[in-house]
Amino acid sequence: MARIVQKYGGTSVGSAQRIEHVAARIEKAVAHGNELVVVVSAMGKSTDVLVDLAKQMTESPSKREMDMLLSTGEQVTISLLAMALHKRGIEAISFTGWQAGIKTEESHGNARISDIQTDRMEAELGNGKVVIVAGFQGVTQSGEITTLGRGGSDTTAVALAAALKASRCEIYTDVTGVFTTDPRFVKQARKLHSISYDEMLEMANLGAGVLHPRAVEFAKNYEIPLMVASSMVDEPGTMIEEEVTMEQNLVVRGIAFENDVTKITVAGLPNKIDALSTLFSTLSKNQINVDIIIQNQSDDKHVDISFSITQSSLKETIAILEEAKSELEFSSIHYEEDLAKVSIIGSGMVSNPGVAANMFNVLAENDIFIKMVSTSEIKVSVVVKEEDMVLAVEMLHQAFQLAEEEAAVV
Ligand code: ASP
Ligand code: MG
């Protein structure tokens, strides 16, 4: 008997019929003698619908009330799924996040899980029940309902797997696994049999929407074997685990990309020891999230600093900088919108020099201008024009031979 945490995403529970289908899958897993904890998302696009309703009410809804509103989506699914299981004669009980003992820090909209008190879940598992838990939500010390950020049900599932010492966590979604790149944009994208935690973490952080980055972080920290597969199609998914011994010869394993990148240049800052620290403290105090940073010395006395942010924070960022102009002493601000970030990822890069050079060559050959670069041990990201994004991904996918079948799984 294994204890398994399964998570079903919005599409997988998008209608009464789909919920019945999920119930049938759970019935099978139970019949195999497994102990099951099931985490579900809100039905279909219902979280978006709730967000939209709030927007109709006010432009700036209170974060507390947003959490109150958005947490209702998952509560609909848990109860319906419990009913569907009861109908099949399977004992099941649904819990909201707070009933399941999921504690979070005191922050609304994007709270982190701080602790999970598993007593109640353990007791019901002990009673032979399937435990169904609402994803994406928790409760603070002071009793406030919080949500974990969009896509956060993945994180609920992995955190529960860790707290309940489950033998694995299975994420069921509307795609059949993790692909070398997004198959909606690149036809040649190929499903990976497996990928390491670190590679998946980079992929998720760099825009591959398949998993919530924090879920991968949890899985890595607690060494939870994670599987991503489709709830609709019966085929093996992708395993995310510590060391992937296959494909040693493939240095790049995946390509992630995202648009919504804007580059800001603050020109003519005084070339002082604290120029960078003053500028970025000002931004961070105002919760502006900065990604890539580049510094150029324009002359003896001045530096230009460029950084990337999301499109949506452009207006605010400029306002903040303008307001701090006398303190920062820059001469002007420039910005460039409609950019995108394309990243190649692979653990093999650590020991293979020349990967970045290869990437730049491929882009140059295709007349794609690189605006910014950033690297880590296992990734290289470039910022390009948004209109070049898909071509860049296609050409890199081809150049790094990502469409080719993997070597035998070891
Ligand atoms: N329902 C939430 C969302 O749409 C959480 C999730 O599905 O993971 O973001
Ligand atoms: Mg998701």
**Would you list the domain boundaries of the chain?**
3-174
Please choose, from the candidates 93, 97, 96, 131, the residue with its C-alpha nearest in 3D space to the C-alpha of residue 114.
Answer: 97
In the structure, what pLDDT confidence band is assigned to residue 297 with cuts at 50, 70 and 90? confident
Q: What is the pLDDT of residue 410?
A: 38
How many Å lie between the centroid of ligand 2 and the Cα of residue 127? 31
Whether the CA torsion 234, 240, 244, 248 is positive or negative: it is positive
How many Å lie between the centroid of ligand 1 and the Cα of residue 111? 14
Query: Does the annotation list 234 as a binding residue?
Result: no
Dihedral (Cα; 343, 345, 350, 353), 10-degree rounding: -60
Helix axes 275-285, 314-323, angle to 10 degrees: 120
For 174-215, the pLDDT digits (tens) are 999 999 999 999 999 999 999 999 999 999 999 888 999 999
Residue 149 alpha carbon, nearest atom of ligand 1: 9
The pair of three-digit structure tokens given for residue 328, joined into one six-digit string: 């920062």
Whether the CA torsion 36, 123, 86, 155 is positive or negative: it is negative
Task: Look at ligand 1, atom 5, and give the residue with the nearest C-alpha.
Answer: 151
Name the residue of 8, 13, 136, 218 to mutate for ligand 1: max ligand atoms within 8 A of Cβ: 136
Which residues have C-beta within 8 Å of that of residue 315, sequence separation ≥ 6?
none
Query: Does the annotation list 254 as a binding residue?
Result: no
Which residues have C-beta within 8 Å of that of residue 221, sequence separation ≥ 6?
162
Residue 154 alpha carbon, nearest atom of ligand 1: 8
How many Å lie between the centroid of ligand 1 and the Cα of residue 391? 30
The residue that leads in pLDDT, 251 or 56, is 56
- Ligand 1 pocket (Cβ < 6 Å) reads 9-10, 41-42, 47, 73, 135-136, 150-153
The pair of three-digit structure tokens given for residue 234, joined into one six-digit string: 């019966």
Residue 279 and residue 327: Cα distance in Å, rounded?
9
Query: Does the annotation list 140 as a binding residue?
Result: no
| 3-state SS class at 226 | strand
- Mean pLDDT computed over every residue of the chain: 94
Is 85 in contact with 92 (CB distance < 8 Å)?
yes
Residue 249 has pLDDT above 80, yes or no: no
Dihedral (Cα; 32, 228, 113, 283), 10-degree rounding: 180
How many Å lie between the centroid of ligand 1 and the Cα of residue 149? 8
Query: Does the annotation list 138 as a binding residue?
Result: no
Residue 181 and residue 392: Cα distance in Å, rounded?
12
How many Å lie between the centroid of ligand 1 and the Cα of residue 150? 5
Is 264 in contact with 284 (CB distance < 8 Å)?
no
Question: For residue 270, what are the β-bridge partners?
Answer: 302
For 383-399, the pLDDT digits (tens) are 999 999 999 999 999 99
Mean pLDDT value of segment 275-295: 92
Helix axes 197-205, 213-221, angle to 10 degrees: 160
Task: Look at ligand 1, atom 4, and give the residue with the nearest C-alpha.
Answer: 47
Among all bound ligands, the one having the nearest atom to the CA of 156 is 1
Is 233 in contact with 177 (CB distance < 8 Å)?
no
Residue 409 has pLDDT above 50, yes or no: no
Single pTM value for the model:
0.90
Q: What is the pLDDT of residue 246?
A: 55
* Segment among 111-125, 238-252, 343-357 with least mean pLDDT: 238-252
How many Å lie between the centroid of ligand 2 and the Cα of residue 71? 15
Cα–Cα distance list, 64 to 11, 152, 279, 367, 409 (Å): 26, 17, 31, 48, 48
Residue 74 alpha carbon, nearest atom of ligand 1: 1
For 145-156, the pLDDT digits (tens) are 999 999 999 999
Residue 48 alpha carbon, nearest atom of ligand 1: 4
Among all bound ligands, the one having the nearest atom to the CA of 151 is 1
DSSP one-letter code for 9: -
b/e sequence 226-246, b meaning 16+ C-beta within 10 Å: bbbbbbeeeeebbbbbeebee
How many Å lie between the centroid of ligand 1 and the Cα of residue 151? 4
Q: Are strands 92-95 and 130-134 parallel, antiparallel or unpaired?
A: parallel
Mean pLDDT value of segment 355-381: 96
Query: Does the annotation list 74 as a binding residue?
Result: yes
Dihedral (Cα; 130, 135, 137, 139), 10-degree rounding: 20
Which residues have C-beta within 8 Å of that of residue 133, sequence separation ≥ 6?
37, 38, 39, 40, 78, 94, 95, 97, 100, 102, 121, 156, 160
DSSP one-letter code for 409: P
The H-or-E segment that residue 355 falls in is helix 355-365
Task: Look at ligand 1, atom 6, and give the residue with the nearest C-alpha.
Answer: 151
Residue 153 alpha carbon, nearest atom of ligand 1: 8
Who surrounds ion ligand 2 at CB < 5 A? Answer: 151
Decide if domain 3-174 falls under CATH 3.40.1160.10: yes
